Every structure is written in structure tokens, then in C-alpha cells.
Amino acid sequence: MKKQLEYSEFSFGYAFTENLIRSSATGPSSAPRFPNLVEEGGLGYDVEIDDGGVPVFFQYKLPEYMVRPTAREISSHGLDKEGLPVPFFRMYLMNKESSRQHELLIELEKKHAGSVFYAAPFIVGRTAFDHAYAGASVHLQSALFSPGEIGSLPGGERHVVAYHPDLSWGWLCSEPVRIAIHRMDSVNAERDQLMKEMPKRRVADVAREVSESVLSLRPGELDGLEGIVRDRVRQRGLRAALGRADAEEAAAVEELLVARELARVGLGVEFVLAQSRS
């Protein structure tokens, strides 16, 4: 038996990203979200054009909340004996026969090591979700899983990850394999250290790198998409929306918007750019 979380995957994805941005005011790094083509006209942008950053990609998942020991992770796989308490969360992965999403995320992670994650909440109930959102902690109350650490998925099976907020490991099933749970605070710390060590890069160069990474993964299906997306960005009056931005800054933000949209459409991931506050 499972219990409803009482909020949608869309709500979770929005709250996760917005809270990540909002919390950056007190953190060591920021992660501004670059809005999609519908949102961009009504939003301002906070982009440090002179400094580059580290791209981070999130594929949002809304899990099931399993509340009975009859769940197959317990009844068939005996994961209670391995430390998995009941109730627990069950996150579904896309079957290879129906989608190449997981394999494509593994390929993307090879290009951007340690920067591609499935994100799934630890939160149950609308009231708890509202409190987490108001406290800007949805991203902190979420489990992050590396597609690369999960590895390639055999065909012909349904694959899930069982996890619990008190544990640092989840289990990939059908054959139970332990998978590390990453947390946003540790990911932020790693991003901050990486940015201190990396040479200075321009934001536009980072965005172009992301665009090329996404296009290289699905050249057939995305053929011609970059030009279409770029035209739509320009038609929406991007430079006018930027107000006081100069031509160089507007061009950089345009590149970020194109990269963000290509990542969203091509791989179903949200692209944010982690930048040092210094």
C-alpha cells in the first residue's frame, strides 16, 4: 500500500529550484535558474557575466511513499534486514524499452562529472511541503542520485530506487544494489571547491558547452532545434527584458536561455549554473 504525497512532480521541481536559488543568499555559492521561454518576459536575471560557473542538471522524480511491509522491497528482497525502514520512498526509473533518458543522463554525466542528478523528495503531505517551501528547504529535504552510480539498466525489467531520509544509501531494485544518496549541502560544497580550483571562464562559454553537450547526445532528434530555440528567445524581446544590460551581457544570458531550453527539451533536465559569490 502507498500513501499520496499530496503534491505534484511539477510543484516539487519548481519548489526545489526556487528554494535552491533563494537559499543562495546565505550559502557559499549561488545557483540561478534561467527561466523558460514562457517565464522569461516577467523575470529579471542575476548573472555574473565576468565569471563562469559549473553547470548542474536535475531530473525531478516524484516517488511513491510505501507504508506497508508487503511492499516487494521488503517482502521479496528483505531490505528491512539491510536497514530499510517502513515506510520508505520508491522512485521509478524510465524503462529502457520506453525511453533512453537514463542512458542519456549517464552520457551527460560523463561530460559533466558529479553534476547530473535525479532529485526526489523526502517530504510527505501538503502541509509539510508548504512548510519546506516557506523555509526554502525543499532542495535540502531531497535525495540526489547519480545516474552514473546507478549504472546502465538491463532491459525487460522495472527498475526502482528505494530510499529513506535517515539513510545515506538507497537500493536499486529488482536485484538490490546499494546506491549512494547525495545531499544538496554536500553537492554545494563540492561545487564551491571546484569553482575555486578551476580557471576563470565566461558564462557564455559555459552555456555554449552545455548546449553542445546536449546536442551531441541526441543529434538526430534535436537537429535544427538550437536555431528554433534561439529565434524564439530573440522574438520574446530578451534584450528589452534585460533593461540596463549591455549587448555583451544580453548575449551571455541569451546563450544561457538557449542552453537551458535544449537541456529541458532534449533530456528532460533542469539546468542551473552554480557560481561563486566572490
Domain ranges of the chain: 2-276
Count of CB atoms situated within 10 Å of the CB of 77: 18
Least confident of 17-21, 42-46, 207-211: 42-46
- CA-CA distance, 167 to 137, in Å (whole number)? 18
Q: What is the mean pLDDT of residues 3-26?
A: 85
- 217: confidence class by pLDDT, cuts 50, 70, 90: confident
List, edge to edge, every strand of the sheet that includes 116-121: 29-30, 270-276, 54-60, 116-121, 142-145
Of residues 87 and 272, more confidently modeled: 87
Query: 161, 119 in Cβ contact below 8 A?
Result: no
pLDDT at residue 267, rounded to an integer: 85
User: pTM here?
Assistant: 0.85
pLDDT at residue 214, rounded to an integer: 86
- CA-CA distance, 111 to 22, in Å (whole number)? 28
Least confident of 17-26, 184-193, 225-234: 17-26
Task: Say how many CA atoms lie within 13 Å of 77 toward its Cβ.
Answer: 20
With H, G, I as helix, E, B as strand and everything else as coil, classify residue 195: helix
Distances from the Cα of 121 to the Cα of 35, 85, 117, 139, 143, angstroms? 22, 17, 13, 8, 6
Count of CB atoms situated within 10 Å of the CB of 135: 13
Of residues 246 and 112, more confidently modeled: 112
pLDDT at residue 24, rounded to an integer: 65
Cell of 122: 523526502
pLDDT at residue 207, rounded to an integer: 83
- CA-CA distance, 221 to 210, in Å (whole number)? 17
pLDDT at residue 31, rounded to an integer: 38
Report which residue type is found at 89: F
- CA-CA distance, 251 to 49, in Å (whole number)? 10
- Length reported for the chain: 278
With H, G, I as helix, E, B as strand and everything else as coil, classify residue 230: helix
With H, G, I as helix, E, B as strand and everything else as coil, classify residue 231: helix
List pLDDT tens digits, range 41-70: 333 333 333 456 788 999 999 999 999 999
Rg (CA), the chain: 19
pLDDT at residue 27, rounded to an integer: 40
Cell of 253: 544570458
Share of the chain above pLDDT 90, in %: 45
* Residue 118 β-bridge partners: 59, 145
For β-strands 64-66 and 88-92, DSSP reports them as: antiparallel
Count of CB atoms situated within 10 Å of the CB of 75: 12
Query: 235, 79 in Cβ contact below 8 A?
Result: no
Kindly report the average pLDDT of the chain as a whole number.
82
